[in-house]
Amino acid sequence: MTTRPLTIAVTGSTGFVGSNIAAILASRGHSVVGFGRAERADAPWPIRAVDFTSVPELTDALAGVDAVVHCAIANDFNRLLADREYAYDSFVGMTSRVARAAAATSSQLVYISTDWVMDGTEHLVTESNSGNPVNFYGFLKAMGEQVVRDLHPVDGAICRIAGVMGRHQLQEDGPRSQDVGFGYFVYSLVSALRSGETFTVWNGPNVNEMTTPSLAAEIGAQIERVVTRRAGGTLHLVGDDAIGRFELAELVCEVFGLDRGLLRQGPPPESELFPAPVPVDSSLSNVHTKSVLGLGPTPLRTLLETFRTELETGVATALTTSD
């Protein structure tokens, strides 16, 4: 374990999850550099333009870097379905190139994966489960996981996340609206109910109905434990509690003091369906992860209270402290 400040690269640091990871790492004294397709000057950390198609350029960019957190993805899902070569290269190919560059520079590789590598038929799946994806997104992420196992077998960290709550650290209007997964669900619900609008909690066979939500800033804090301990293997950076969509909506109303009477239930609009099946129950167990990272309790209610504080203060806030 190291207690010195580290130099950490974050791909996708301008995205929702990536911006939270970068913000937490930077706030704790680490030197953070974002890797993107173009330079940007609107972030509290430098963002360096890199060519993600070039292993030599990625290798040069990782010189002197202790760890690289690979968050970047292509999220135009209709294009991914229509252009399979683009999809494979944007996920598996890019992960392979980042992994090879990290190996060449002895940088730890931390790969952000997803609960959607699971098929949704099991509850609180353990870290040892390699998954059984039911759609192309889950398949591409699972293939990325295997790249990490093959190229970084000792200290490569596969960090699965699920039901990520939080706010975008570089955008005032926050994440996008509700989708058939759990991403952005809480933020969009709070925004709607605070404005006095009704909110329809989507349900049905084409919706991810249950997961183990976490907070984006808390994921960043747990990533810090991953890199300071140089922990490897598959880890589940999720909260302690599995919960269904409507039950979560009711708990959000309780914690945020919102009007439960504004909640509705119903299927998503046809236009909002994911273009493939989705896992119904994508809940993940975090028992092994807590042991590896020395984590304390992360109950869902406390994560929601922490998110409420973050919205009130505008500062990314987490439960897990530095080692």
Ramachandran assignment for 90, one of left (phi > 0), alpha (psi -120 to 50 degrees), beta (any other): alpha
20 in Cβ contact with 28 (< 8 Å) = no
By the 8 A CB rule, do 254 and 160 touch? no
pLDDT in the model for residue 81? 85
Do 115 and 142 form a contact (C-beta atoms < 8 A)? no
CA neighbor of 189 nearest in space, from 100, 135, 255, 98: 255
β-strands 7-11, 31-36 pairing: parallel
Among 167, 160, 137, 159, residue whose Cα is nearest residue 15: 167
Q: Which CATH number fits domain 7-313: 3.40.50.300, 3.40.50.720, 2.40.70.10, 1.10.10.10?
A: 3.40.50.720
For tokens 């049905």, the residue is 204
Are 55 and 100 spatial neighbours (Cβ–Cβ below 8 Å)?
yes
Cβ proximity of 158 and 165 under 8 Å: no
Partnered with residue 181 across adjacent β-strands are: none
Helices (H) and strands (E) in the chain, counts: 11, 13
Residue 166 backbone dihedrals phi, psi, to 5 degrees:
140, -175
Please give the DSSP secondary-structure letter assigned to residue 92.
I
| DSSP assignment letter at 176 | -
- So what's the pLDDT on residue 176? 73
Q: Which residues of the chain are under the pLDDT cut of 50?
A: none
The pLDDT value given to residue 250: 98
Amino acid letter, residue 103: A
Report the sign of the C-alpha dihedral through residues 175, 178, 184, 190, in that order. positive
Q: What is the pLDDT, as a whole number, of residue 175?
A: 65
DSSP string, 127-185: TT-----SSHHHHHHHHHHHHHHHH-TTT-EEEEE-SEE---SS-TT-S----SSSTTH
The reported pLDDT for the residue numbered 185 is 95
